[in-house]
Amino acid sequence: MMYQYILDLLPYKSSFRFVDEISYLDKDRVVGHYTLKEDAFFYEDHFPGNPVTPGAILTEIMAQIGLVVLGIYLVVGPEDAARPEAGDNPAFPLFTSVEVSFDQMVLPGQKITVISQKEYFRFGKLKCRVEMQDAAGNRIAKGVFSGIIKTISK
C-alpha cells in the first residue's frame, strides 16, 4: 500500500484511527480516505434508530488526514528517507485550532475523501485548508486546521 510507512507512524490505534488510505502525499498536499464503519462505537447513541456521524468525529477525520498525516510527512520525509522504524515516531502532532463548517451529514458505511492543502509550516506550526468530500466529489465539510508538530528526540 502506498504510504504505508506514514500509516504505521500514526499515533492512533484501533477504534480511533480514521485513516484507511493515503492516495497522494507531498510537502504541500495530502489526499486520504476513510470508510465509516457501520458498527463504530459512536453510532449506537447518535442517534438510536437513525445513526449519523457526529461532527466531532468528522472534524477528527479531517484533522488526522489533513493535519497529522501531512505533519508527520513534513518531519519524516519521503519513503526513501532515513528515519526511525515504526513505533519510534519522531513526530507528535498537537491539534491546536480549527474552524470548520458542514454542508451535509455522513452516514454509517459512507466512504469519504479528505483533501488538505498546506498554507504554511514553520517553527513546527502547520496550518492547512482541509475539505471533506463524499464518493461523488460533493463537499461534506471544509475548514482551516492548525497544529504544532513536535519533534521527539530520544
CA distance 71 to 52: 29
Q: How high is the pLDDT of residue 42? A: 94
The pTM for the full model equals 0.92
Q: State which residues form the domain around 112.
A: 4-151
**Percent of the chain whose predicted confidence (pLDDT) is above 70:** 90
pLDDT 10s digits, 62-85: 999 999 999 999 988 887 765 555
CB burial class (10 A; 0-12, 13-18, 19+) of residue 53?
A: buried
**Hey, which residues are catalytic here?**
46
For the beta sheet containing 21-25, the strands, ordered from the edge strand earlier in sequence to the opposite edge, are 21-25, 29-35, 111-122, 125-133, 139-151, 91-102
CA distance 43 to 97: 26
CATH number at residue 95: 3.10.129.10
The grid coordinates listed for 120 are 504554511
Q: Could you give the number of structural domains in the chain?
A: 1
Strands, E, within 1-152: which ranges? 21-25, 29-35, 91-102, 111-122, 125-133, 139-151
Q: Which of 134, 137, 131 is nearest to 145 (CA)?
A: 131
pLDDT 10s digits, 116-127: 999 999 998 999
